């Protein structure tokens, strides 16, 4: 039998009485009003009702905005993006709401392949006129597919064990932080986009949007953060057209500016992003020469992109200052003091660590600014002459050309070459393409061959960090590797040079060299959860993994492999873009 149960409530009679009483008194009050008074009431009530209906959408909008601002000012968590949302977004074509610019769209147009029409014209109108998305269609051949798969493998391990941190430690399944800025993500974004890895790209973008914060009480290195983070954000902005990246670049640029408040204008090496205090490195009163001269492309691009002239002014001042300092045949010592603005006497001259990208950015700044700043061209030409005169030597046995170092204030020559120096053939080829002296190409080809030998002559087919060359004994081997220099950090410089040389010569041998080296990376550095630096390229049976995957492996090494293996010579057009020192492409000024 159904039975309904009730609970008895005893309402105090005083309360019940008072409710009834107040209703009655309201009715009595209404009845006592005159007809005129009641009409006035009706008019007032109806007007309020009409106003409410009219202004309701405005009130709603304001309420939305307030909650949005509140959300934005809530500290973001290191969160992984929603899988389902990302999958749905990844199904959309890149740049569907943007105007195509070049990249593969231009290549397909030349080759009469039809592109789907750009969708959603209404949204196109809202895009800034100067900013168009470049569209990439993904790997086209087996080698490119293998590189894209390597990128996905590296990304997967990073996502699983180091998400939001700077670097992955792939063996221990842990992470490493340096600046606490998610370096691997910000460095990878344009590579993911160029490879058309949509899901991964959207994961990265989502993290940047929700979790990348610069208001941290942390010291960072101006150069490293500029080439990796500022460069990464700017190139992502230029390729995708997404203003999220520009907003981040502006915020960061502002926080880096205090570095330039030194007595000489030469920047201090470090700055606290939270309290904006800049200072020299803890271990020395000096900044590295390559560091203070390898920030110009990025800061200038920030000015071009925002219209705020402070960024370009700061770095122009540095370049102009260094231009007038005394040098050795155009070559610079590797340390400079931010207070005095002078080079450290007796410091080494090298195209390797701490010197390398000074020479690279002389040329690239000249290209970026539309070949208008004459002193940059002159300084570059003088420096390459200085390299040929003072640093280039050949081995006794096979005549291999290499670039050594001058130590003790340009007095002692050391037949030692860092792998970092192998960026030079690419830069020389880029220079010749832009009208620099033709004999630079011969130097580029000879040095490229030697760099290739630093790979080919090890049993792993991977180059060591540093190689020594034999210049006194014609019977001894051309090169030797000291035990402490036998590590390989997954660096990009040689692959970078192969790409430039292939771009400007069309010689497919360079692709084949690259492919052999890519396979060596696969064999000796690939592990279950990513790729690892190794300690010994001389011991194939035990390469001694270092348990570290640097962000430049994804930003540079894999990107240059992918570009090198492309069938499309204009996948990224070197007449439109100049690559920064971390492989982030930035537009060349046409103004
Ligand atoms: C990168 O961070 C940059 O290429 C830098 O200019 C030099 N070293 C590493 C890669 O080897």
Please identify which of the residues 206, 465, 478, 496 carries the catalytic annotation: 465
Mean pLDDT for the stretch of residues 144-156? 98
Ligand 1 centroid to Cα of residue 418, in Å, is 12
Give the residue, 249 or 131, on which the prediction is more confident: 249
Q: Model-level pTM greater than 0.85?
A: no
Ligand 1 centroid to Cα of residue 347, in Å, is 21
Mean pLDDT for the stretch of residues 124-131? 39
**Distance of alpha carbon 562 from alpha carbon 188, whole angstroms:** 13
| Max Cα–Cα distance, the chain, nearest Å | 124
Ligand 1 centroid to Cα of residue 517, in Å, is 19
The dihedrals phi and psi of 382, each to the nearest 5 degrees, come to: -65, -40
**Distance of alpha carbon 393 from alpha carbon 402, whole angstroms:** 6
Q: How far is CA 488 from the centre of its chain?
A: 22
Nearest atom (ligand 1) to Cα of 493: 11
pLDDT at 23: 54
Please say whether the dihedral angle defined by the alpha carbons of residues 44, 48, 53 and 58, taken in this order, is positive or negative. positive
pLDDT at 410: 77
Give residues with Cβ within 8 angstroms of 20, minimum separation 6: none
| pLDDT at residue 274 is higher than 80 | yes
| pLDDT at residue 107 is higher than 90 | no
Q: Which pair of structure tokens corresponds to residue 548?
A: 């570290």
| pLDDT at residue 61 is higher than 50 | no
Whose alpha carbon is nearest atom 10 of ligand 1? 491
Nearest atom (ligand 1) to Cα of 489: 11
Whose alpha carbon is nearest atom 3 of ligand 1? 582
**Distance of alpha carbon 579 from alpha carbon 570, whole angstroms:** 14
Mean pLDDT for the stretch of residues 492-505? 98
Burial label for 32, CB within 10 Å (0-12, 13-18, 19+), is exposed
Domain with CATH 1.50.10.10 in the chain: 112-587
| pLDDT at residue 58 is higher than 50 | no
Q: Which pair of structure tokens corresponds to residue 585?
A: 């492409």
**Distance of alpha carbon 193 from alpha carbon 98, whole angstroms:** 15
| pLDDT at residue 67 is higher than 60 | no
β-strand pairing of 100-103 with 133-135: parallel
Q: Is 465 a catalytic residue?
A: yes
Which region among 16-25, 134-143, 282-291, 338-347 has the lowest average model confidence (pLDDT)?
16-25
Residues 443-477 pLDDT 10s: 999 999 999 999 999 999 999 999 999 999 999 99
Nearest atom (ligand 1) to Cα of 224: 2
**CATH 1.50.10.10 for domain 112-587:** yes
Residues 182-219 pLDDT 10s: 999 999 999 999 999 999 999 999 999 999 999 999 99
Ligand 1 centroid to Cα of residue 385, in Å, is 24
Residue 232's nearest CA partner among 217, 212, 218 is: 212
Query: Mean pLDDT highest for which of 36-45, 109-118, 223-232?
Result: 223-232
β-strand pairing of 401-403 with 405-407: unpaired
Nearest atom (ligand 1) to Cα of 583: 4
Please identify which of the residues 200, 356, 478, 496 carries the catalytic annotation: 356
Ligand 1 centroid to Cα of residue 288, in Å, is 14
The dihedrals phi and psi of 167, each to the nearest 5 degrees, come to: -135, 155
Q: Is 356 a catalytic residue?
A: yes
Residues 515-539 pLDDT 10s: 999 999 999 999 999 999 999 999 9
Looking at residue 229, the DSSP 8-state letter turns out to be I
Give the residue, 234 or 131, on which the prediction is more confident: 234
- Residue 491 CB–ligand 1 contact under 6 Å: yes
Q: Which pair of structure tokens corresponds to residue 216?
A: 């941290």
- Residue 581 CB–ligand 1 contact under 6 Å: yes
Ligand 1 centroid to Cα of residue 364, in Å, is 15
Please identify which of the residues 104, 493, 550, 573 carries the catalytic annotation: 493
- Residue 582 CB–ligand 1 contact under 6 Å: yes
**Distance of alpha carbon 166 from alpha carbon 182, whole angstroms:** 4
**Distance of alpha carbon 416 from alpha carbon 469, whole angstroms:** 6
**Distance of alpha carbon 176 from alpha carbon 535, whole angstroms:** 18
The average confidence (pLDDT) of the chain is: 86
Residue 192's nearest CA partner among 76, 77, 84, 90 is: 90
36 forms beta bridges with none
Nearest atom (ligand 1) to Cα of 551: 2
Contact criterion met (CB below 8 Å) for 167 and 549: yes
How many percent of the chain have pLDDT more than 70?
78
Mean pLDDT for the stretch of residues 73-86? 43
pLDDT at 516: 99
- In this prediction, residue 331 has a pLDDT band, given cuts at 50, 70 and 90, of very high
Mean pLDDT for the stretch of residues 9-18? 44
Neighbours of 100 (CB within 10 A): 18
Residues 474-496 pLDDT 10s: 999 999 999 999 999 999 999 99
> Based on C-alpha coordinates, what's the Rg of the chain?
31
Helix segments in 164-288, DSSP class H: 183-194, 198-211, 222-225, 231-240, 243-256
Residue 382's nearest CA partner among 426, 423, 329, 430 is: 329
| pLDDT at residue 17 is higher than 60 | no
pLDDT at 591: 76
């Amino acid at each position: 039998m159904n039975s309904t149960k009730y609970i008895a409530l005893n309402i105090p009679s005083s309360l019940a009485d008072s409710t009834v009483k107040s209703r009655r008194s309201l009715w009595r009050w209404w009845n006592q009003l005159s007809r005129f008074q009641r009409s006035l009431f009706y008019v007032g009530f109806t007007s309020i009702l009409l106003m409410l209906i009219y202004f309701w959408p405005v009130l709603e909008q304001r309420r939305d905005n307030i909650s949005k601002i509140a959300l934005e000012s809530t500290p973001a968590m290191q969160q992984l993006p929603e899988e389902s949302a990302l999958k749905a977004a990844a199904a959309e074509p890149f740049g569907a709401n943007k105007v195509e610019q070049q990249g593969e769209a231009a290549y397909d147009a030349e080759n009469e392949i039809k592109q789907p029409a750009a969708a959603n014209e209404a949204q196109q109108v809202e895009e800034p006129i100067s900013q168009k998305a470049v569209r990439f269609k993904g790997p086209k051949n087996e080698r490119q597919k293998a590189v894209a798969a390597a990128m996905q493998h590296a990304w997967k391990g990073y996502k699983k064990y180091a998400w939001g941190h700077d670097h992955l430690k792939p063996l221990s399944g842990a992470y490493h932080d340096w600046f606490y800025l998610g370096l691997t993500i910000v460095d990878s974004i344009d590579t993911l986009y160029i490879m058309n890895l949509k899901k991964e790209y959207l994961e990265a973008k989502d993290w940047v949007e929700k979790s990348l914060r610069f208001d941290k009480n942390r010291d960072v290195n101006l150069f490293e953060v500029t080439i990796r983070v500022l460069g990464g954000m700017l190139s992502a902005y230029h390729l995708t057209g997404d203003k999220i990246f520009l907003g981040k670049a502006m915020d960061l640029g502002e926080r880096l500016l205090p570095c330039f408040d030194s007595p000489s204008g030469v920047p201090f090496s470090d700055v606290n992003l939270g309290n904006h205090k800049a200072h020299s490195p803890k271990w020395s009163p000096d900044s590295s020469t390559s560091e203070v001269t390898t920030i110009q492309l990025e800061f200038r691009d920030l000015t071009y992109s925002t219209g705020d002239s402070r960024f370009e002014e700061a770095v122009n001042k540095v370049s102009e200052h260094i231009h007038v300092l005394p040098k050795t045949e155009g070559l610079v010592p590797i340390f400079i003091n931010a207070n005095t603005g002078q080079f450290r006497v007796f410091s080494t001259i090298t195209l390797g660590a701490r010197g390398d990208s000074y020479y690279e950015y002389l040329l690239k700044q000249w290209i970026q600014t539309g070949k208008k700043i004459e002193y940059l061209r002159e300084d570059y030409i003088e420096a390459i002459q200085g390299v040929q005169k003072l640093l280039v030597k050949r081995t006794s046995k096979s005549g291999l050309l290499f670039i050594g170092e001058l130590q003790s204030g340009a007095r002692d020559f050391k037949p030692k070459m860092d792998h970092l120096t192998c960026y030079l053939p690419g830069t020389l080829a880029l220079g010749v393409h832009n009208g620099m002296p033709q004999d630079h190409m011969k130097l580029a080809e000879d040095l490229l061959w030697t760099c290739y030998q630093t790979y080919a002559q090890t049993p792993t087919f991977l180059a060591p960090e540093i190689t020594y060359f034999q210049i006194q004994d014609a019977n001894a081997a051309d090169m030797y590797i000291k035990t402490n220099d036998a590590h390989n950090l997954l660096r990009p410089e040689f692959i970078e040079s192969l790409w430039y040389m292939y771009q400007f010569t069309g010689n497919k041998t360079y692709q084949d060299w690259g492919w052999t080296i890519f396979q060596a990376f696969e064999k000796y550095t690939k592990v279950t959860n990513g790729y690892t630096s190794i300690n010994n390229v001389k011991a194939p049976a035990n390469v001694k993994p270092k348990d570290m995957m640097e962000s430049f492996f994804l930003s540079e090494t894999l990107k240059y492999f992918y570009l090198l293996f492309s069938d499309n010579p204009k996948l990224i057009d070197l007449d439109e873009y100049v690559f920064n020192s971390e492989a982030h492409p930035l537009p060349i000024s046409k103004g």
